[in-house]
Amino acid sequence: MKIDLDQNSGAEEVVSARLADGRVRQSPRNLTSREYRSAGTMVDIDGVKVGLIELVVMAGPCSVESAEQILLIAREVNAAGATVLRGGAFKPRPSPYDFQGLGKIGREHLRAASRETGLKVVTEVVDPREVELVTEYADCLQIGSRNMHNYPLLCEVGRSSKPALLKRGLSASYKEFLLAAEYIMAQGNEQVILCERGIRGLSNELRFTLDLNAVPYLKQRTHLPVIVDPSHGTGSARLVPAMSLAAIACGADGIIVETHYSPVDSISDAAQTISTVEFAELMKDIAAVAEAVGRKAHSPVVR
């Protein structure tokens, strides 16, 4: 099956970008496009490979709440087969009066949990001036949905040696999403993972609408790995398992799932957070779906 993907793609443009060291980089194709690189890019999160046959599963709480909280969750998700620990230390919340994250100390708790479990860390960076600092604590730099259009931040992450997890803006088109990734790549960082995390839809019942069309569309347009966030994508823990499996079935390279040992006690995003017990169940179902679509899930740790 051949789909015409060139509509709206901008793939014919000659791309030219000035790198941090002053050199000018030119490419006849967008750096994110399959025309630029036909084979899929493998992103390496300090040994965890994203974009190969084995799926990546990133799990952890919305926010780091304490050293004990993140360590306990890290142990549980690690045992169930996750390989990357998520957790926000700086939280861009819709209301300035909501919990904004533990900040620097939260990143230290993440690093400590990573040291003990061997999980790699993905955490959000919200400020271009902090990219270098976050790099000391994180193995992968998350750019949140609200910052997908933050061009100084995209450029700064583009100058970093750490892989980037770029989340789609709440109302960004595929073209805008790919051009945001282009900003990162144009600065020299080709280690970019795209994350579909739901867009604003018509439903008042759910927080966001998970746009799974994005997965096969992007996989055909770009060589970059694509993962899915069913937690923000639905806003509802009860929908997370089904949409996680759907994401794998339609070709995602992995998922990122908000998980807590006691979801109701989560300081942020409690309604969309699954329990560590539910997560372990989900991992078993993921293994079955992965096999059906020619992928592989990371094996859980035998205890």
Which residues of the shown chain bind Mn ion in the complex (CB under 5 A)?
Answer: 62, 269
| Site pattern 36..65 for ligand PEP (x: CB under 6 A) | --------------------------x---
Cα separation of 259 and 240, whole Å? 10
Q: Which residue stretch of 6-14, 131-139, 140-148, 171-179 sits at the interface with ligand PEP (rule: CB under 6 A)?
A: 140-148
What does the DSSP 8-state code read for residue 40? P
- Smallest separation (angstroms) from Mn ion to the CB of 209: 17
Q: Which of 88, 101, 163, 254 binds ligand PEP (CB under 6 A)?
A: 88
Closest CA to 135 of 46, 75, 254, 68: 46
Span 242-301, contacts to ligand PEP by CB under 6 A? none
Closest CA to 186 of 145, 225, 155: 155
Looking at the Cβ atoms of 54 and 269, the one nearer to Mn ion is: 269
Cα separation of 191 and 215, whole Å? 18
What does the DSSP 8-state code read for residue 41? P
> In this structure, are residues 196 and 168 in contact, taking their beta carbons and an 8 Å threshold?
yes
Looking at the Cβ atoms of 17 and 113, the one nearer to ligand PEP is: 113
State the number of CA atoms in the 13 A half-sphere of 287 facing the CB: 12
Q: Which residue stretch of 7-15, 68-76, 144-152, 220-228 sits at the interface with ligand PEP (rule: CB under 6 A)?
A: 144-152
Cα separation of 240 and 5, whole Å? 30
> In this structure, are residues 95 and 82 in contact, taking their beta carbons and an 8 Å threshold?
no
Contact between 34 and ligand PEP by CB under 6 A: the answer reads no
- Smallest separation (angstroms) from ligand PEP to the CB of 215: 16
Q: Which of 120, 197, 260, 298 binds ligand PEP (CB under 6 A)?
A: 197
Report helix, strand or coil for 152.
helix
What does residue 188 show for φ and ψ, rounded to 5 degrees?
115, -15
Closest CA to 129 of 164, 159, 96: 159
Looking at the Cβ atoms of 83 and 145, the one nearer to ligand PEP is: 145
Q: Which of 162, 167, 260, 298 binds ligand PEP (CB under 6 A)?
A: 167
Q: Name the residue whose CB lies closest to ligand PEP.
A: 144
Q: Which of 32, 83, 145, 272 binds ligand PEP (CB under 6 A)?
A: 145
Contact between 107 and ligand PEP by CB under 6 A: the answer reads no
Angle at which helix 276-292 crosses helix 67-80, to 10 degrees, equals: 30
- Smallest separation (angstroms) from ligand PEP to the CB of 300: 24
Residues that bind ligand PEP (CB under 6 A): 62, 88, 144-146, 167, 197, 229, 232
